[in-house]
Each structure stands twice: as C-alpha cells, then as structure tokens.
Amino acid sequence: MMTTEAASQVYEDTWIPSACGMCYNQCGIRGHRIDGTLVKVEGNPDNPIGRGRLCARGLAGIQLLYDPHRVNRPLRRTNPEKAIGGDPGWQEIGWDEALDEITTRLKAVREEDPRGLYFAGTVISLAPLMHALGTFLPAFGTPNSFVSDGHHCGNAEHILARTLHASVTTNPDVAHCSYLLLFGCQAGLGTYYALTTMAQDVADARIRGMKVVAIDPFLGSAAEKADEWVPIKPGSDGALACAMLNLLLNEYELYDADYLRDHADGPYLLTEDGWYARDRESGRPLVWDANAAYARPFDATDLGTVALDGVYQVDGRPCRTVFRALREQVAKWTPEAAAEVTTVSAETIRKIAREFGEAASIGKTIVIDGQELPHRAASALYFKGAHGHDNAWSTSLAIELLNEVIGASNVPGGLLGTNPVCFGHPETGFPRWEPGADVDGLLEAGALLYNDPHGRSPGWPPPPTSAELPNLRDLVGWPITTCFTPAALNDHENFSFDHRPEVLINYGSNLLMSAARPEVCFEAFKDTFVICFNLHSDETAEALADIVLPDTSYLERLDPIPNFTRHHHPVGMGDWGHTIRQPMVEPLFERRHFSEVLLELGGRLGITEPMNLLTNHLYGLVAPHALAPDEQYTWREIADHAYKGWFGEERGLDWFEEQGVITWPKKVEEVYWKPFIHARAPLYNEWVKRSGEQVAKIAQERGMKGIDTEGFVPLPDWKPCRAWKPRDGYDLQAIYYRVPWHTFSMTYENPWLDEISRGEPYSYFVCINTATAHAKGIADGDPIEVEGVDGGTIRGRARLTQGVHPEVLAVANNGGHWAQGMPFARGKGVFFNQLLPMDLEHTDLVSLSMDCDARVRVQKVPEA
C-alpha cells in the first residue's frame, strides 16, 4: 500500500503497543511507525480493553498527533486585555523562561498561602490528572482543584457505584443478562464506559436474545438499536423508576427477599425520625429477630429468622424495617402519577416493570467456574440523560434500587461495579483491592482511584465540616468530580472565602466550553495568573491564559497506568489487563509531558520529598520498590518502580515497552463477589440524611443563601428539576446527547471525525420534532435561534426528525468552537453549554450534578 519507493529505503518498520486517549476509556492500541512517522493506529488484539477493536475516535487519533494547529512551543500573552474571543497576541517563548516565571509565581503563592493555587483538569487525560491530584497538588498544599467537565460527569452515579457496587463506575453483566433497561445512557450502543469491549458484548447478547429498552427523549444510537424506544420528558426518569419500584414491591411482588434480607439493609429497623434503630450498648443497627420476637443487633451470632418487612415495637416505639419504609415511600408513585410527569403511558410503565421483574429470574442460580451463583438476568443502567439534573441523587437512587430489589447487583446478569475486587497478579499479589463491611455491616469500598497497598480507603463519606473551599470539598466531599469552583468563586460573598485564586493551572481542559456558559469560568479567573497546559490554543487559553504550555498528545507520552487499572476496564469474566501508554513517536517540536513538567516544578519548588511519598501512596509502592523520599526521579524511573513493584523485578519498564500489556484471568470470586464478601448494600442512606442536616447547619451558621438541603433524602422520591422553570413562551426543553464519534468538544478539531458529522444527518444540527417544527413554521435546514430561560442563546440549523420528544430540542455533544487556535473546529456543530448557567440553584448539592438541560424558546431567524 505505502511502498511507493524501493523497500530498501525503509530503515524502520515497527509496531508499538500502547493505550488510547481519545476519550476516558483508554483502550488498548498499537501503532505502526515507518521511518519515524506514525502511519496507523489500531486496536491491540492482545489487550482485553477493546480486544483489538476501536471506535472511530481511537482510529482517528493520528490526526490529533499531526494536527498542524497544535501548540508546539510555550506561548506568552502580550495583550493584557483578557476577553472571551479576544486575541491574546501570543508570543513564543522558551521553556526555561516559561518555567522560571511559573516557579517564581508558585513560590510566592506557596509562601503566602498555598491555597492560592487552583487546578483544573479533565478526565480524558486520567493518568496525568491523577498524578497532579495525587502528588503535586497535595505536596504543594492546595485543596483547590476541580475537573472542568465535572458537572457533566457521573457524579451521582459515582456515589452509588461506591455505596452499592464498591467501585467508581458500573456496567451491566450483559453476558448473563436478558433484559437491559437504559435510562439516558448508551452502554455498548453509543458512548459509555469500556465502549469498545461493551459494544462487542452487547452485540453478542442482543443476538443471543437480550432485550434492550431505551428510555430517552432522543432516538440516539442506543434507542435505534433498542427493542423498544420509550421517549421521556427530560429530568423525569426518577418518577418512572419510582413507579416501577412501586409496581415491583407493592403490586407484582417481584423482589428478591433473600437478597434484601441477607445482602442489603432491608431488615434494619428505622426509628420514627428516620435513623437506624441502634443497640444501646454496641451502637449496632437493630433487626427484628422473629423467633425471639425481639430487636437484636444485625450481627448477633445466634439470630433467628430475621424479619424483612413489618413494623415492630422497639423500646415502646414503632420501628419500620428499611424494606417497609421503601415500600411505603414509593407507594404514591402509581403508574398513572408517573405517566403525568414523564409522558410515558401507565400501560408502558406497567409493561416494562413486569418485564424487568420477570426477566430477573429471581431464585434461579447459575454455575460459573464451578461456583453456583444467583442469576439475575436484568439490569437497569443510567447516565447523564437521567442524572444530569438537579434531582440527580434521588433519580439515580431510584434507578439503582430497581437492581437492588430484584437482587441484580454484583451477581451474574445484574449491574456490576467496575472491577471492585482484585486479588492481584498471581505471582506478586499486586495490585490488590477489595471491599469489606463497616461497623454497621454496610459495604465499604476497597481502594478506588489510587492504589493504596492496603487495598482499602476507609473513612468515607467525609463529614461536612465547613464551607471554605470553592470546590465544596469541605461541605460535600463525597462526589468524585465537581466543577462547582468557578460558580463558588463568583458567589464568594455568599461563601466568604478568605483567599482568592492567584494562579490557575489548567491541564488539558477547556473549561470555558466544558463547564457551562463561558462567562462563568471567565469571571472566576479573569484576574488570576492562568497557565494552560494543553494541545491547542483553545477558547480558554485565548480568553484567560497568561502562559500556554505545549502538551504531548497520548501518542507522544508515557503513562504507566493509563486507566488506573480498573476504571473503564470491562466488567464480567475474562482477563485483567494492565497496560502501558508509551510514546509512539518522541514528542514533536517542544511539546512536553505534564507529569514530567510537574516533577521538574516539584524540584524547583523544593517539594520533591512529599511528592515522592505521595507517589508511593498513589501507586501502592512498598519497599524495595518505593521511591526514596529525597531523590529526584525521572518519569521513566517512576514508571519502572511502579511496574516492578506490582509485577516483579523482571517486569520493569523495559518489559512493558516491549510487551505492552500484562494479562491474567479474572477469578469468579473477583467478578461476582457479592456472595463471597459479606457486606450489605445500603438501600437506606442514613449518611445522606445526616450530611444534609450538617450542611444545613453549616449554611445557617455562616449565613449562606441558596443552600437547599431538601434533596438530601435517604430514600428516593421525585421532584421536577429547576431547569423546568416555567415561563410564558418558553415551551421546549433543550438537551444534549452524545454520539459515538465525538468526545465532549475536543474532537471537533479532528478532520476525519468532522467528515463523519458532515455526512451524518443529525449531529451538526439542532434536532426538533417534525410536528413541533411545523407548528412553529420551521422547515428542515432553517437557521434557528434557541434562547434559554436563564439567558444564553445558541444558533444552529434545524433538523426535523420524528425521533425526538415533541417538547425537546436535541443537540449532539458540544461543538461550535470559536478559538483562532482551533481553526478546523471553528463553527462546527452547536455550542450547547451556552444555555447552561452554573450556580447553586441548578446544582444537586448531594452529588454536585448540574442541570444539563434548559427551558428554551426557539425561533426561525434570517440567513446569516
């Protein structure tokens, strides 16, 4: 194909194993390099993450590597006027000059008050992000970090993945599932965790006969493949789930009583004011011993039959079981009541509830690798479509409890945490983590994002203590991601922070576009010294940056643990795969790896010792592979320590550079751990109730306004999200959906992916229901203007489709770039986030999820 010259002129022809970085999934890839030029990237068949198959984004990564518009040298702003869409007047400078200035500023901040350093990152570059969050920032001494797309992340899902599945994320066990219910997500069918592997597994399962029901306002790629598309009003998924719970528990009596009694807190007794009834001596939660007719600690050794349902007298007061409380809680959600808010007919709600409950095959077992396990062949899964609202916590809880009540949680066929148990490589026992039970008998996750050698991360959730941190870590510290920082800074009088952002390091994120409307982040940091470490001079850099540093792409850098081992790794049986990301070409021009620059900055700032100790903690390194505290290591040396620490002396960096990935088979006790680890899933969230009271108290003490703790509910309920704000004339709800060939806004600069969108009918348009459009005199292709009730106007062209709810406008991802430094992306697609305010009002304080939809009106406008 490419042998245009004589073959003898080829001096190099090699394949390099590595990891993708075009979205957060970090699939296994290999690259073909000829004479120093990368000519092909494809899936690595040796890697269990993707098994040799890649999505369009991963295949197109080569055009990111060689994008002529990349930033190649450090840039300094010459125009002192910062403005959205302004011209920064970039001037190229050398690395020494850039780092000298940054060092001077950081030294001053650290002496004055280290909290003056702020950090924003992106989940796409997970490994460098974790290196910064785990080592540099705590060693420097600032807690002020946030993920710029954090509000659009899994927030509520991450919390419940932790409490119910001992992980950060979840995926259904489709290999043993026969009914998959998708609430606003597209697992294996569009975009979701472990997409490339899940796509294979979901396709196999569908051929085998697994039924898919997609609940979504837009007929996207999951709904296209679903056996049934159930269009729903945005933000009302929680009402649908509550009605399904009601049907399963109170009408059809389709629930797994054994699971709820023995593996959840179903039998725990609740006092009238909503706390676990506790044993006076031990403080342990009480259950009702039906034989003794007495309330006894759940862990009493000689318990008789434990009552799952009912109300019992404890110390002369009536106490309901958690199970009874849940039944009563959802009783008001009749299918008819839910139909009214969801626009899904009561008949449909009854049908899918019954199908879901029956598919679970409650009571059945399956033998896998010689172990007889419960087989619950139904899963309910959800993501941004369902929980991208200010009722995120309650909505997500309701959907999760669908799995819990049928016992389809952490067992074959059900919803699995993303690999919450790992016994480590057979030869070394590393890395390892596993959940256990806390003093109340409830599930406590193992080590999650870092690799603590002890395999556990106790002390969660952190109690609310104060409201002094703009990322709300001291107030609501349990969500993994948040982007609230800019909104809090803009609201600083309400929060009364005692420090201001002096320096912002913005790594890999385009926060002006990715958080909400750009004015929010611009206002927050316009007086801050901003360092953007990124691939392009993007909207954020051009508006805010004082210095831009040229980052390496994922094809030019070394990351020893690109996915932090378990995240976005496929669930279910199969292989563990521990992958290297390594440069397929040396960094072009003067691009540098963020992690290497942080090591250098650490040395310049005199914080190498704490960084080294924290690195040991992050990677779980113990003697003899731990870093010595006072030595200055290179990034390659650190990678070598990490590999040898985990996989033995003979498997260092050299071994991984050659082999790319180490695999070993998963054990059934790791994958389907629920029957093997006795820890109860908390259906009742006492901690949320307690946290809510503490948050309210702190807000009152500090005189803070707008801290609404009504959403801190221990059991699910539903209320409309605030983005449903009614106002005359604003008659539609704008939502975004995701397509499998774009990642957030970053891939709009990729010409191959742009070519897809230009040939595809919907993704560069604003989709509107045909009948709705006709009523408004809008024809297909018309230029339209969409105005949000909270301000913000976007423009685009109308695409008339039958595949969208009549009250909804649907926009793909988040396009419409305007930066001079991303000329290819400029004007492509629609900038959805312009419609989104970011403030307390539109944020679910339990999960720090944001309303990702907006009440709007639409009108036809003249051709530009």
Partner 1 sequence: MRLGMVIDLKRCIGCYGCQIACKAEHGTRPGTTYARVVKREWGVYPNVKKLSIPVLCMHCAEPPCVEVCPTGASQKRSEDGIVFVESDFCVGCRACVMSCPYGARYFQDEQRDYFDTGENEYEQALYAAHQAGVVEKCDFCRHRLEQGQEPACSANCMCKARIFGDLEDPNSEVSRLIREEGGFQLNPELGTDPSVYYLPPDR
Partner 2 sequence: MRVRVKLHGGVRSCEMDPARSSFGLTLRNGGNAGDLLHALAERCGDPFRRALDSTDERLPRHLRLFVDGEMLVTLDQPVVPANGSDAGVTVVVLTPMMGG
Q: Which of 21, 121, 220, 266 binds partner 2 (CB under 8 A)?
A: 121
SS3 of 860, please?
strand
Q: Which amino acid is at 591?
A: R
To partner 2, the closest distance from the beta carbon of 482 in angstroms equals: 8
What totals of helices (H) and strands (E) does the chain contain, helices first?
28, 35
To partner 2, the closest distance from the beta carbon of 418 in angstroms equals: 17
Q: Is 480 one of the binding residues for partner 2 (CB under 8 A)? A: yes
Q: Which of 271, 345, 457, 770 binds partner 2 (CB under 8 A)?
A: 457
Q: Which does 10 bind (CB under 5 to 8 A by kind): partner 1, partner 2, none?
A: none
- Which residues within the stretch 593-622 sit at the binding site for partner 2 (CB under 8 A)? 607, 609-610, 613-614, 616-618, 622
Cα gap 326→275, rounded to integer Å? 14
- Bridge partners of 34, per DSSP, are 13, 37
Which is nearer to partner 2, 45 or 606 (by Cβ)? 606
- Bridge partners of 531, per DSSP, are 505, 547
Q: Is 565 one of the binding residues for partner 2 (CB under 8 A)? A: no
Q: Which of 58, 61, 128, 150 binds partner 2 (CB under 8 A)?
A: 150
Q: Which does 861 bind (CB under 5 to 8 A by kind): partner 1, partner 2, none?
A: none
Which is nearer to partner 2, 609 or 669 (by Cβ)? 609
To partner 1, the closest distance from the beta carbon of 791 in angstroms equals: 30
Q: Please identify, among the stretches 193-201, 479-487, 494-502, 732-740, the one whose residues bind partner 2 according to the rule CB under 8 A.
A: 479-487
Q: Which residue has the tokens 């599945």?
A: 165
Query: Site size for partner 2, by CB under 8 A?
Result: 48
Neighbours of 653 (CB within 10 A): 20
Of the candidates 543, 539, 522, 544, the one whose C-alpha atom is nearest the C-alpha of residue 817 is: 539
Q: Is 139 one of the binding residues for partner 2 (CB under 8 A)? A: yes
Q: Please identify, among the stretches 47-55, 363-371, 468-476, 836-844, the one whose residues bind partner 2 according to the rule CB under 8 A.
A: 468-476
Q: Please identify, among the stretches 78-86, 108-116, 195-203, 325-333, the one whose residues bind partner 2 according to the rule CB under 8 A.
A: 108-116
Cα gap 355→729, rounded to integer Å? 39
Q: Please identify, among the stretches 374-382, 401-409, 457-465, 789-797, the one whose residues bind partner 2 according to the rule CB under 8 A.
A: 457-465
Q: Which of 143, 413, 550, 815 binds partner 2 (CB under 8 A)?
A: 143
Which is nearer to partner 1, 692 or 815 (by Cβ)? 815
To partner 2, the closest distance from the beta carbon of 609 in angstroms equals: 7
Q: Is 629 one of the binding residues for partner 2 (CB under 8 A)? A: yes
Of the candidates 488, 533, 484, 525, the one whose C-alpha atom is nearest the C-alpha of residue 509 is: 533
Cα gap 641→631, rounded to integer Å? 13
Residue 207, CB-side half-sphere exposure with 13 Å CA sphere: 5
To partner 2, the closest distance from the beta carbon of 629 in angstroms equals: 5
Show the CA angle centred on residue 132, arms to residues 81 and 507, nearest 5°: 30
Q: Which amino acid is at 823?
A: P
Neighbours of 797 (CB within 10 A): 13
Q: Which does 219 bind (CB under 5 to 8 A by kind): partner 2, partner 1, none?
A: partner 1
Q: Which does 407 bind (CB under 5 to 8 A by kind): partner 1, partner 2, none?
A: none
To partner 1, the closest distance from the beta carbon of 225 in angstroms equals: 6
Which is nearer to partner 2, 483 or 732 (by Cβ)? 483
Cα gap 449→527, rounded to integer Å? 33
Q: Give exposure, 673-703, as e/b (b: 16+ Cβ within 10 Å).
A: bbbebebbbbbbbbbbbbbbebbbebbeeee
Contacts of 267 (CB under 8 A, 6+ apart): 260, 261, 287, 288, 298, 306, 307, 308, 321, 322, 323
Q: Which of 458, 665, 751, 781 binds partner 2 (CB under 8 A)?
A: 458
CB 2 within 8 A of CB 36: no
To partner 2, the closest distance from the beta carbon of 82 in angstroms equals: 24
Q: Which does 55 bind (CB under 5 to 8 A by kind): partner 1, partner 2, none?
A: partner 1
To partner 2, the closest distance from the beta carbon of 605 in angstroms equals: 11
Contacts of 198 (CB under 8 A, 6+ apart): 171, 174, 187, 188, 192, 570
To partner 1, the closest distance from the beta carbon of 84 in angstroms equals: 24
Structure tokens at 386: 């369902």
To partner 1, the closest distance from the beta carbon of 464 in angstroms equals: 43
Of the candidates 396, 408, 398, 395, the one whose C-alpha atom is nearest the C-alpha of residue 356 is: 408
Binding site for partner 1 (CB under 8 A): 1-2, 4, 34, 37-43, 50, 52-56, 59-60, 62-63, 65-69, 189-190, 195-196, 199-200, 202-204, 206-207, 219, 221-225, 229, 231, 740-741, 751-753, 755-756, 759-762, 769-771, 801-806, 823-824
Q: Which of 89, 94, 462, 706 binds partner 2 (CB under 8 A)?
A: 462
Q: Is 108 one of the binding residues for partner 2 (CB under 8 A)? A: no
CB 769 within 8 A of CB 806: yes
CB 449 within 8 A of CB 479: no
Q: Which does 66 bind (CB under 5 to 8 A by kind): partner 2, partner 1, none?
A: partner 1
Which is nearer to partner 2, 137 or 512 (by Cβ)? 137
Q: Please identify, among the stretches 8-16, 146-154, 265-273, 289-297, the one whose residues bind partner 2 according to the rule CB under 8 A.
A: 146-154
CA distances from 33 to 40, 45, 128, 245, 584 (A): 7, 18, 25, 55, 7
Q: Is 308 one of the binding residues for partner 2 (CB under 8 A)? A: no
The full 3-state SS of 589-614, as one line of letters, equals CCCECHHHHHHHHHHHHCCHHHHHHH
Which is nearer to partner 2, 86 or 610 (by Cβ)? 610
Which is nearer to partner 1, 520 or 825 (by Cβ)? 825
Q: Give exposure, 560-578, as e/b (b: 16+ Cβ within 10 Å).
A: bbbbbbbbbbbbbbbbbbb
Q: Is 481 one of the binding residues for partner 2 (CB under 8 A)? A: yes
Residue 394, CB-side half-sphere exposure with 13 Å CA sphere: 28
Which is nearer to partner 2, 251 or 438 (by Cβ)? 438
Sign of CA pseudo-dihedral 239, 244, 250, 255:
negative
Which is nearer to partner 1, 43 or 716 (by Cβ)? 43
To partner 2, the closest distance from the beta carbon of 295 in angstroms equals: 23
To partner 1, the closest distance from the beta carbon of 177 in angstroms equals: 17
To partner 2, the closest distance from the beta carbon of 596 in angstroms equals: 20
Which is nearer to partner 2, 308 or 605 (by Cβ)? 605
What does the DSSP 8-state code read for residue 861? -
To partner 2, the closest distance from the beta carbon of 618 in angstroms equals: 8
Q: Is 676 one of the binding residues for partner 2 (CB under 8 A)? A: no
Q: Is 114 one of the binding residues for partner 2 (CB under 8 A)? A: yes
Q: Which does 755 bind (CB under 5 to 8 A by kind): partner 1, partner 2, none?
A: partner 1
- Find the distance separating the first CA and the last CA of the chain, reported in whole Å: 45
Which is nearer to partner 1, 637 or 780 (by Cβ)? 780
Distance of CA 580 to the CA centre of its chain: 22
Structure tokens at 265: 């807190």
Of the candidates 821, 742, 743, the one whose C-alpha atom is nearest the C-alpha of residue 534 is: 821
SS3 of 191, please?
coil
Residues of the shown chain interacting with partner 2 in the complex, contacts defined by CB under 8 A: 110-111, 113-114, 119, 121, 129, 133-134, 137-147, 150, 449-450, 454, 457-460, 462, 469, 471, 473, 480-482, 607, 609-610, 613-614, 616-618, 622-623, 626, 628-629
